[in-house]
Amino acid sequence: MPRRVLLAAALLLSGCVQTRQFADVEFAPPEGDYSLLVMRPDVSVGLVTPGGLVEPRADWTEQARANLLRALAAQQAGRGGRTRILERRDEIAGIDAETVADLERLHQAVGASIAYHKYMGATLPTKRRQGLDWTLGEDAVRFGKATGMDYALFLHAEDSFASTGRVALQVLGIAGCFIGFCAPQGGGGQAAYASLVDLRTGEIVWFNILQTQSLAPGIGFGDIRTPEGAAQMVERLLGRMKAGRNVRARQ
């Protein structure tokens, strides 16, 4: 019995916050006088149904988006950067919505490739030990010249919260440990990524993925619907930007 109790206790306390970043070998985190364009952030917040499906919630999503944008502007100002946040595709004078959409789609494809080859284990032999080696090419450089910005940041954030039914299920799953049937159930959690593009070279110079998950009912690791939770996510995602390998070697 004590072992079972220990197991239940361990599960109750388990859950984690994980980030994993990659940078171009020559990447130096932007500091001082730089300009950053935040591309329209892709945010979605939902409710975890008892069956484990995530049901998107419009009001929560709007709240979280507003909080994240505020937190992001504040965080970047702290580094000395001038931040401009795009909320719509058609709000840069002289650049049509279609050009912005094309860049977003291009980044979507390249970002998926980074996720696949850097995070999901399908390592490319030709890119081993070379840091982050992906580019958006000339399109991004042209976009940088037209906007006059130094960097573009692409941001995607998801958060979800367990419904009452799901929490009940989580309780049952852990309570079951006491009678020998341990079936911990996932509750809500966060998943986010940030991708920094140097618009002077077109290269994706830095990429980070954040994940939080909790098996314990009622316990989460931040709530981006609140200003504090959003600031926490921004800090976890962008706060500890590490320089590239060559840059660190020279320091």
Partner 1 sequence: MSDLPLTRRMMLGGLGCACCGGLAAPAGARIPPGSLRPVVTPGYRPVDADEQGLWQQYRRVEEEIAGSNLLIRDDALARYLGGIAGRVGGPAAKDLRIYLAHVPEFNAFMAPTGFMVVFSGLLLRMRDEAQLAGVIGHEAGHFLLRHQLRAWRDMKRKTSALTFLGMAAGLGYGATGIYAGGLVQLAQTGAILSLFAYSRELEAEADAMGVKQIAEAGYDPAAMPETWQSLIAETEASAAMRRKRPRRGYSLLATHPAPAERMADLRLSAREVAGAGSTERGRDRYLAALGEHRRAFLDDQVKLNDPGATLYLLRYLASDGWNGLLRFYEGETWRLRGEAGDNLLAGRSYAAAVAYPDAPAEAWRQHGYQLLREGRRDEGRAALRRYLALAPSAPDAAIVRQSLAS
* 158, burial (CB in 10 Å: exposed 0-12, middle 13-18, buried 19+): buried
Task: Pick one of 180, 249, 250, 251: the residue that binds partner 1 (CB under 8 A).
Answer: 180
Closer Cβ to partner 1, 6 or 97, answer by number: 97
Closer Cβ to partner 1, 108 or 123, answer by number: 108
Task: Pick one of 59, 120, 125, 128: the residue that binds partner 1 (CB under 8 A).
Answer: 59
Closer Cβ to partner 1, 179 or 249, answer by number: 179
Closer Cβ to partner 1, 24 or 159, answer by number: 159
* 37, burial (CB in 10 Å: exposed 0-12, middle 13-18, buried 19+): buried
Closer Cβ to partner 1, 164 or 251, answer by number: 164
Q: Does 172 bind partner 1 (CB under 8 A)?
A: yes
Q: Does 183 bind partner 1 (CB under 8 A)?
A: yes
What tokens does 124 get?
């490319």
**Smallest distance from partner 1 to CB 113, Å:** 19
Q: Which of residues 107-166 bind partner 1 (CB under 8 A)?
A: 165
Q: How far is CA 124 from the centre of its chain?
A: 23
Specify the amino acid at residue 146: A
Q: Does 55 bind partner 1 (CB under 8 A)?
A: yes
Neighbours of 186 (CB within 10 A): 17
Specify the amino acid at residue 67: N
Q: Does 16 bind partner 1 (CB under 8 A)?
A: no
What is the number of alpha carbons within 13 Å of residue 37 lying toward its C-beta? 25
Q: How many Å apart are CA 132 and CA 207, to the nearest integer? A: 8
What tokens does 237 get?
């995602």
**Smallest distance from partner 1 to CB 65, Å:** 11
Q: Does 6 bind partner 1 (CB under 8 A)?
A: no
Closest-CA residue to 215 (of 178, 190, 189, 179): 189
Helix ranges restricted to H, 43-196:
58-78, 97-114, 138-147, 164-175
Q: Does 202 bind partner 1 (CB under 8 A)?
A: no
Binding site residues, partner 1, CB under 8 A: 44, 46, 49-53, 55-59, 61, 97-98, 101, 165, 169, 172-173, 176, 179-181, 183, 185
